Chains A and B, each alone.
Chain A
Amino acid sequence: MDTLAVRLDHPLRSFALHVELEVGRETLALVGPSGAGKSSVLRAIAGLLRPDAGRIALGPDVWLDTAPETGRRISLPPERRSVGLVFQEYALFPHLTVEANVGFGGRARVGELLERFHISELARARPGELSGGERQRVALARALARDPAVLLLDEPLSALDAHTKGTVRAELGELLRDLGLPTVLVTHDFEDAAALADRVGVIVDGQILQLGRSAELLAAPASGFVASFTGANLLPGSARPGRDGLTEIVLDHGVTAYSTAAGEGRVGLAVYPWEIALSREAPADSTLNHVTGAVTSLVSLGNRVRVRVGPLTAELTTGSVERLDLREGELVVASFKATATRLVPL
C-alpha cells in the first residue's frame, strides 16, 4: 500500500505554511478557517503550487523534493502526478459537455463513470445547465477518469445549498470508503470533516494545531481554538486546585465552575453544547456546574434546537424545548457535569 507523505514549507501572504502529513488508505480532512492555507496544501500536492521547500512522495515515487540527496531539485508537473483534484467550485469546462468533461483525462472509463455517478442522461448537457449536486458528481467522475492514486477534494460541499448537502455528504462518504484511496479533503466545516474523514487536522495560519480522529479532537482539544472550532463553548477563566481533587475555575463572567480535568492559571473551560442541560431551577442532582442566564436565541436544526443562554450554547431535543416551554428572554439554569468539561490553554 502506498502512503502519501507530504512535507511543505511555503510563505503565504501573512504567515508561513508548514505542514507534515502521512496519508495511508484513508481520508484525512484539513479543517480550518478560510485563508488558513488549506487549499495551498492541495495545490502543492497536485503540483499547481511550487513550495519553497519540501518533499512530496507517493510510496517510492517522488513528486517533489527541493533538497534531494542527489542534489537536483525534483518537481514533477501536475500531469505527471497521479492525482485527482476536485476544485472548490468544481472548475468544470463550460465549453464541453458532461461526457467530454469526464473524458478529458481519459476516455476508457467514461461510460462506466457516467453510470456510476448517475449522470448518463446528462452526458450531452453542458455544466451551465446542471444543478450544484450534479456538478459535484461530474467533477468527481472527471477526477477519477484518470485512475488517480491520490484524491484531493477542495471544499467539496461548500458550493451546495443546505438542502442538497446532507444527501451529497452521505454519498461522498460512501464513495470515499469504496475507493480506498489516500484522500485529502479540506473544509471549513468541522461537522463535514468529522462525517467524511478518518482523521481530522485542524489548521490555522499555516500550522496544524492538532491531528487525530474526530472523537479524539472532541475528547481532548489541544487548544482553545481547536475546542471552539469543533463546536465547544469556550469560557475563559483562572484555574486552581480545588476541593475533592477537582479543579476550581473562576470564570471571567463571575461564576465558579468545577472540572475533573487538571489545569492552573489562565485556561479555557470547554464544554460541548450536547453536554449542557437546561432547567427552570437549579436541579438537585449530581451536576456541579450551574450558570443562570436569559435565553437569547432559539435556533432549530431538524430534530434539535440550539439554545443560547448567557455565554453558553446548549443543544436540546425539540421535545425537551417544548416540554420546558422555553422562550426568548426567560431566565433558565444551564447545568453541566464536571466530568463533561475540558481545560485548554488559551
Chain B
Amino acid sequence: MLAIFLRIPPGDLLDGMRSEAAIDAVLVTAKTSAIANLLILLVGTPAAYLIATRRFAGRALVITLIELPLVLPPAVAGIGLLAAFGRFGLLGDQLTALGLSIPFTQIAVVLAVTFVASPFYLRAAIAAFEAVDPNLPAAARTLGASPARTFFRVALPLAGGGLGAGWALSFARGIGEFGATIMFAGSLQGVTQTLSLAIYEQFDVRFELALAIGAELAVVSAAILLVVKLLPSWTRSPSGSTTLFAPSRST
C-alpha cells in the first residue's frame, strides 16, 4: 500500500489523478458501479429476505446458483456473459431484434460487475435475515403490521448491520472487477474503461498514471473497510435474549 503512495512525488500523483484518462475512468467507474450496486441492493435485498424466510422446493439449488460466481474464474464469467449476451450468443437474436447490442457498452460493464459482485451481498443478506429471531416478525404481524411494514420496520433494521457489511464487500469486489469486464466490455476509455482497467492499460505506457489511479482505488477501499468497522454494532448483536439473565434493575 505504502509503495503506491511513496514511489513518486505527491505532486506527480495529483497530476496523474487530474489527467483525462484518470477522470474518464473515475466517471465510468462511478456510473457503472452506482447502477450495478443499485441493482444488487434493490433486487438482492427482497430476494435474500424471501430465500431466508421461506422454505420451498429447490431452495438449496437457488442458493448454490447464487454462490456460483464466487468460485467461477472471472475469465469464465466474461466468456459466459459473451456467450449469453454476445451478438452470436444465446440471447443474441432476441437482443438484435430489440436493436440492442450489449458487449463493449456500459451495460456490459454493469452486467459483469453485477454478476461477480452480487453473491457477496446476497450471501451476507441471506445470513443476516436468517439471524433475525423469527418471533420478531411474527410479533409485528400480530400487532397489526402488514408483511411489507414488518419487512421495513422489523426485518430490515435488525438485519441492517449484516446487510451493510455484505454490501461493502460486494461494492469492493465490484470496483475491483477486472477479468469479466475486460472480456465482455473491453477497455474503451470514457466508455467501458473502469479504474481497474485503466491501471492495466496505463502501467506499461505511463507508470505514474497507473500509480495515481491505483492510489485512488486504494483510498476508496480503505474508506469501505472503515465503514464496515464503524457500522452500528447493536444491529449485529443477537436480539433480545442476551441480557435475559442480567440482574434486575432496582427502581
A: residues with CB less than 8 A from B are 43, 46-48, 77-79, 81, 83-85, 87, 89-95, 104-106, 121, 127-134, 142-143, 145-146, 159, 161, 164
Chain B residues packing against A (C-beta within 8 Å): 133, 135-136, 138-147, 153-154, 157-158, 234-235, 237, 239-244, 246-249, 251
**Nearest CB on B from A126, distance (A):** 8
B232: nearest chain-A partner, CB-CB? A95
Question: Could you show 26 A-B contacts with beta carbons less than 8 Å apart?
Answer: A46-B142, A48-B138, A48-B142, A78-B138, A78-B141, A79-B144, A79-B146, A85-B142, A87-B138, A87-B139, A89-B244, A91-B138, A93-B139, A94-B234, A94-B237, A95-B239, A104-B143, A104-B153, A105-B144, A105-B145, A127-B240, A128-B240, A128-B243, A131-B248, A159-B244, A164-B248
Residue of B nearest to A134 (CB): B249
Q: Which residue of A lies closest to B242 (CB)?
A: A128
Return the contact of A94 from the options B138, B140, B153, B240 (Cβ within 8 A): B240
Contact of A91 among B240, B242, B246, B249 (CB under 8 A): B240
- Contact check, A94 vs B239: say whether CB atoms are below 8 A apart: yes
A286 to B248, CA, bound (A): 50
- Measured CA separation A47–B137 after assembly (Å): 13
Which 6 residue pairs are nearest across A and B when measured between Cβ atoms?
Answer: A105-B143, A131-B248, A78-B141, A91-B135, A94-B239, A91-B139
Bound together, the chains give a CA A146 to CA B141 distance in angstroms of: 12
Residues of B within 8 A of A159 (CB): 244
User: Given A89-B244, A94-B234, A128-B242, are A77 and B141 also a contact pair (CB < 8 Å)?
Assistant: yes
The answer, among A87, A89, A146, for a CB contact under 8 Å with B144, is A146
Shortest Cβ distance from A323 into chain B, in angstroms? Answer: 37
Closest approach, in angstroms, between the C-beta of A64 and any C-beta of chain B? 15
Please name all residues of chain B whose beta carbon is closer than 8 Å to the beta carbon of A77 when the two chains form the complex. Answer: 141, 147
Q: Give Cα A139–Cα B158 distance, bound, in whole angstroms.
A: 19
Interface of A is mostly: loop
Residue of A at shortest CB range from B139?
A: A91
Which residue of chain B has its CB nearest to the CB of A104? B143
- Provided the pairs A131-B246, A164-B248 are in contact, do residues A78 and B158 lie with their beta carbons within 8 angstroms? no
Contact of B142 among A83, A92, A127, A129 (CB under 8 A): A83
Known: A48-B138, A90-B240, A91-B138. A146 touches B143 (CB 8 A): yes
Expressed in whole angstroms, the Cα–Cα distance for A79 and B150 within the complex equals: 11
Shortest distance from the beta carbon of A9 to any chain B beta carbon, whole Å: 22
Counting chain A CB atoms within 10 Å of each CB, the highest count among B141, B154, B158, B246 belongs to: B141
Please measure, in the bound complex, the distance between the C-alpha atom of A67 and the C-alpha atom of B210, giving whole angstroms.
72
Closest to B135 in A: A91
Decide: A132 near B244, CB < 8 A? Known: A78-B138, A94-B158, A95-B235.
Answer: yes
Assess whether A131 is in contact with B135, with CB atoms less than 8 Å apart.
no
- Most chain-B CB neighbours within 10 Å: which of A77, A87, A94, A121? A94
User: Is there an interface contact between B144 and A106, defined as CB atoms closer than 8 Å?
Assistant: yes
In whole angstroms, how far apart are the Cα atoms of A129 and B141 in the complex? Answer: 24
User: Please, which residue of chain A has its CB at the minimum distance from the CB of B136?
Assistant: A91
B143's nearest neighbour on chain A, judged by CB, is A105
The interface residues of chain A lying within 8 Å CB-to-CB of B154 are 93
Q: How far is the CA of A143 from the CA of B139 in the complex (A)?
A: 9
Q: Is the CB of B135 within 8 A of A89?
A: yes
Choice from B147, B234, B241, B246 contacting A89 with Cβ under 8 Å = B241
Q: Report how far A83 CA is from B138 CA in the complex, Å.
A: 12
> Contacts A79-B145, A87-B139, A105-B143 known; A95 to B248 CB distance under 8 Å?
no
A94 to B244, CA, bound (A): 12
Q: How far, in angstroms, from A43 to B141 measured CA to CA in the complex? A: 12
Whole-angstrom CA separation of A55 from B158 in the bound complex: 35
CB distance from B249 to the nearest CB of A (A): 5
Q: Which residues of B contact A161 (CB under 8 A)?
A: 248
Pairwise interchain contact A95-B234, C-beta atoms closer than 8 A: yes
- Bound Cα distance from A83 to B142, whole angstroms: 7
CB pair B135 A87 closer than 8 Å: yes
Rounded to whole angstroms, the CA-CA distance of A95 and B153 in the bound complex is 10
Q: Which residues on B sit within 8 Å (CB–CB) of A128?
A: 234, 240, 242-243
Q: Which of A43, A78, A121 has the most CB of B within 10 A?
A: A78
Nearest chain-A residue to B146 (Cβ)?
Answer: A79
CB distance from B138 to the nearest CB of A (A): 5
* 4 more CB-based (< 8 A) A-B contacts, given A77-B147, A79-B141, A93-B140: A84-B142, A85-B139, A128-B234, A131-B249
Residues of chain B within 8 A of A84, CB atoms compared = 142
